[in-house]
Amino acid sequence: MADAKRTTVEKIVSEKKKVPAVTLTLSHEEAEVLLALVGNLTGDSVNSPRKHTDAVYYALSGAGVSSYGKPYAKQMLGNLKWLNEPKAPSYRF
């Protein structure tokens, strides 16, 4: 059911300009799962990509999506954390 379309949106930076954007259409259940996923990411909310996953979380919440009482969060194992910098390459096999 998921559908993504490339588009542009107007976003105020220091001036109004068109920036690349994506419109994503999800079923309600897909949106609930995505909300649970992005709501369980940790890390610095200013200096890491978490600022983007937080934006997705708040956009979905603002659209009336909730995963409260749903089993999705209980089905996840482990945790994910956004780092401020990419990890150094590992030379171990």
CB 30 within 8 A of CB 24: no
Entry pTM = 0.74
pLDDT range class, residue 13, cuts 50, 70, 90: low
User: What ranges do the domains of the chain cover?
Assistant: 3-14+26-82
pLDDT in tens, 47-88: 999 999 999 999 999 999 998 888 877 888 888 888 888 888
Rounded Cα–Cα distance for residues 34 and 14 (Å) = 31
Q: What is the pLDDT of residue 25?
A: 94
- Read off the tokens for 24: 């994503």
Q: Which amino acid is at 14?
A: S
pLDDT in tens, 17-47: 888 999 999 999 999 999 999 998 999 999 9
